[in-house]
Amino acid sequence: MQTYIEKVVRGEDLTLEEMEAAARLMFDTDTDPVLVGSFLLALKQKKESVDEITALVQVVREHALTMPGELIGAMDNCGTGGDQSNSFNISTASAFVVAGAGITVAKHGNRSISSKTGSADVLEALGVDIRQSPEVSYQLLKENQISFLFSQQMHPKMKPVVQVRRALKIPTIFNLIGPLTNPVELETQLIGIYRRDLLLDMASVLAKLGRKRALVINGPGFMDEASLAGETHCVLLDRGELLEFTIKPEDVDLPYVDNKAISGGDKEMNARILTDVLSGKHGPHRDTVLLNAGLAIFANGKATTIKEGIALARTSIDEGHALEKLNHLIQTHQREVR
Task: With beta carbons less than 8 A apart as the criterion, state whether 35 and 1 touch.
Answer: yes
> What are the DSSP calls for 57-71, one per residue?
HHHHHHTS---SS--
Q: Tell whether 188 is in a known binding site.
A: no
Q: Tell whether 225 is in a known binding site.
A: yes
Burial class (CB in 10 A: 0-12, 13-18, 19+), 285: buried
Q: Tell whether 292 is in a known binding site.
A: no
Q: Tell whether 85 is in a known binding site.
A: no
Q: Tell whether 112 is in a known binding site.
A: yes
Q: Tell whether 316 is in a known binding site.
A: no
57, 97, 70, 29: which is closest to 204 by C-alpha?
A: 57
Q: Tell whether 82 is in a known binding site.
A: yes
Q: Tell whether 224 is in a known binding site.
A: yes
Q: Tell whether 7 is in a known binding site.
A: no
Q: Tell whether 281 is in a known binding site.
A: no
Q: Tell whether 69 is in a known binding site.
A: no
Q: Tell whether 79 is in a known binding site.
A: yes
Q: Tell whether 49 is in a known binding site.
A: no
Coil, strand or helix: which one is 210? coil
Q: Tell whether 91 is in a known binding site.
A: yes
Q: Tell whether 247 is in a known binding site.
A: no
Q: Tell whether 212 is in a known binding site.
A: no
Q: Tell whether 77 is in a known binding site.
A: no
Burial class (CB in 10 A: 0-12, 13-18, 19+), 6: exposed
Q: Tell whether 221 is in a known binding site.
A: no
Task: With beta carbons less than 8 A apart as the criterion, state whether 52 and 19 touch.
Answer: yes
Q: Tell whether 165 is in a known binding site.
A: yes
Q: Tell whether 227 is in a known binding site.
A: no
Please, which residues have CB within 8 angstroms of residue 98's CB and are 6 or more apart in sequence? 75, 77, 105, 146, 293, 296, 297, 300, 313, 316
Q: Tell whether 114 is in a known binding site.
A: yes
What residues are designated binding site?
79, 82-83, 87, 89-92, 107-115, 119, 165, 224-225
What residues are designated binding site for Mg(2+)?
91, 224-225
What residues are designated binding site for anthranilate?
79, 110, 165
